[in-house]
Amino acid sequence: MATIKLILDKRTQNKDKTFPIRLYVYANHKPSFINLGASLSEKDYKEIFEKTPTGKRLEYRRSFEAFVNKAIDLHKSMVDFDLDEFKRLLFSKQEQQKETTTALSDLFDVYVKSKGSKLSIKTKDMYKSTLNCILRFKSDAKLEDITITFLQDFENWYNDNHPLHQNSSVGIHLRNLRAIVNKVKDEENLPVGYKYPFGKGRYSIRSYTKMKVALTASEIKTLLELDTFESVEERKARDLWVMQFYCNGVNLNDMVRLRWDHLVGNCFVIQRQKTKNTSSSRQVLIRIPLVENLKILIEKMGNKNSPYVLGFLKDGMSESQILEKKRRVASLMNANLKPIGKRLNFAIELLSETSRDAYASTLKRNGRSIEEIAEMLGHTSTTCTRNYLAQFEDSIIHNINQVLP
């Protein structure tokens, strides 16, 4: 039960002998005094609020009574009373409290459209994936449903229903959801009584480490020197993997976009697609040295009749066409890499993406510094590199325990 009423606060007196008029709110077993920016003498207060005034004094009284009624109605509409949110809504303009759509499907759609070309196709697909995942958890989810309890339950549900190696994805989904809620919050369109669930003392998004196992040094050597294949497609897939390896372990998305005019001196200079649209003011360029083994591969696989080194793309292709071509290349490549890995009895599945892991772990095994590895991978900070390399410590952990009796 809450108490909300107007009072003349006699705890403090102004220089002109008046006292401030405040809204007294007793809720959650705590009293609060909200300043209304007006002051009256004790005599005037009694004349206006304890007797029957007329004229301007009556209008003055009615304006305060309407404000108190607004406060009472506002309190009733709040599921969980929060004083700061109560005051924000109480003093907000009427037009800021207009009704807005709160269905998450609509809010996601509005957010993606508002960002336009600032979001890559891949990022837009990720927001779509986030929405679909949330709707699988709660099919009719609305903004009002996104509470601390909802977020905790969603995280637990996701982790219970996905393999351990995918748990890092829940953090991505939750950050996407937070971006949607933040947009509504920034536009001051949060539903009346809605309690913002993110931040200190509320719900904090955890950071999950996606554990990986990289190919061993001997496995990498075996793959690089392999000369027996069951088909032409297998050899081409292996060669593409090796080319990624010698191109600083770049993602396939970057390698298919590699152009002849990216060659500056004796290095290819590119920018990672993953960080191209980042808000960071520091845009990192990757320099890929044209080492002898890479020269041999390019001479073997390069297409001199295309502006693109591998010739998979054409000038004028849209971003969606480029991504579709990359997906086809990756699909065919992985379909031929997997049987190679099985025949060689590799401990992990051989895929295009393992080339980057193999490159990074090879540099680390051979004593290259964190700073050097960060530069070659195109990381914006060594912290990112340390976290990335920490995922390949499985063999080190096993070696440590070898001292046990």
Mark whether 67 and 108 lie in a shared domain.
Answer: no
Q: Residue 399 pairs with which residues in a beta bridge?
A: none
- Cα separation of 291 and 224, whole Å? 15
Joined tokens for residue 119:
């979001």
Give a yes or no: residue 207 inside a domain: no
Helix (H) or strand (E) holding 253: helix 252-255
Question: Do 281 and 222 sit in the same domain of this protein?
Answer: yes
DSSP letter assigned to residue 125: H
- Domain carrying residue 129: 104-186
pLDDT in tens, 152-164: 999 999 988 876 5
376 and 234, same domain (yes or no): yes
Residue where a domain stops, chosen among 39, 66, 91: 91
Q: Answer whether residue 254 is part of any domain.
A: yes
- Same domain for 176 and 288, yes or no, is no
Residues near 3 by beta carbon (within 8 Å), at least 6 away in sequence? 24, 25, 26, 27
**What is the structure's pLDDT at 98?**
44
Q: In this structure, is residue 98 part of a structural domain?
A: no
Q: Is residue 169 located within the same domain as residue 248? A: no
The answer to whether residue 23 is domain-embedded is yes
Q: Which two tokens stand for residue 227?
A: 């000369």
The Cα–Cα gap between 59 and 222 comes to 90
Quick check: 348 and 216 in contact, CB under 8 A?
no
Q: Are 302 and 290 in contact (CB under 8 A)?
A: no
Residue linked to tokens 């929405």: 131
pLDDT for 218 equals 93
Q: For position 78, what pLDDT does the model report?
A: 79
User: The tokens of 297 are what?
Assistant: 């591969």
- Is 142 found in the same domain as 82? no
Within a domain: 178: yes
| Position 206 in a domain | no
Task: Read off the pTM.
Answer: 0.60
* CA triple 201-204-205, angle to 5 deg: 175
Between the CA of residue 113 and those of 109, 177, 274, what are the distances in Å? Answer: 6, 15, 20
Residue 263's domain is classified under what CATH number?
1.10.443
Domains: count for the chain: 3
> Do 156 and 275 reside in the same domain of the chain?
no
The dihedral region occupied by 36, where left means phi > 0, alpha psi between -120 and 50, and beta the remainder, is: alpha
Residues of the chain with pLDDT under 70: 1, 93-101, 163-167, 208-212, 277-283, 390-405
| Residues 322 and 380 placed together within one structural domain of the fold | yes
**277: Cα separation from own chain's centroid:** 14
Closest to 21 (Cα-Cα) out of 54, 46, 55, 2 = 46
Residue 333: inside a domain: yes
Q: Following DSSP, what letter does each residue of 43-104 receive, concatenated?
A: HHHHHHHTS---HHHHHHHHHHHHHHHHHHHHHHH-SS--HHHHHHHHHS-GGGG-----BH
Question: Tell me: the pLDDT tens digits for 109-151?
Answer: 989 988 887 788 888 889 999 999 999 999 999 999 999 999 9
CB 381: neighbour CB atoms within 10 A?
Answer: 12
Cα separation, 217 vs 214, in Å, equals 9
Residue 97 lies in a domain: no
Dihedral pair phi/psi, residue 26, rounded to 5°: -115, 110
If asked whether residues 179 and 236 sit together in one domain, one would say no
User: Looking at the structure, do residues 247 and 386 belong to the same domain, yes or no?
Assistant: yes
Q: Which residues are CB-neighbours of 290 under 8 A, at least 6 positions away? A: 263, 266, 267, 268, 298
**Domain stops at, among 59, 91, 123:** 91
Give 370-405 pLDDT, tens digit per residue.
899 888 988 888 877 777 776 665 555 555 566 566
Clarify whether residues 181 and 46 are in a common domain.
Answer: no
DSSP string, 347-396: SS---TTHHHHHHHHHHHHTT--HHHHHHHHT-SSHHHHHHHHGGG-HHH
Tell me: do 123 and 155 sit in the same domain.
yes
Boundary-marking domain end, from 91, 125, 143: 91
Q: What are phi and psi of 51, to 5 degrees?
A: -120, -160
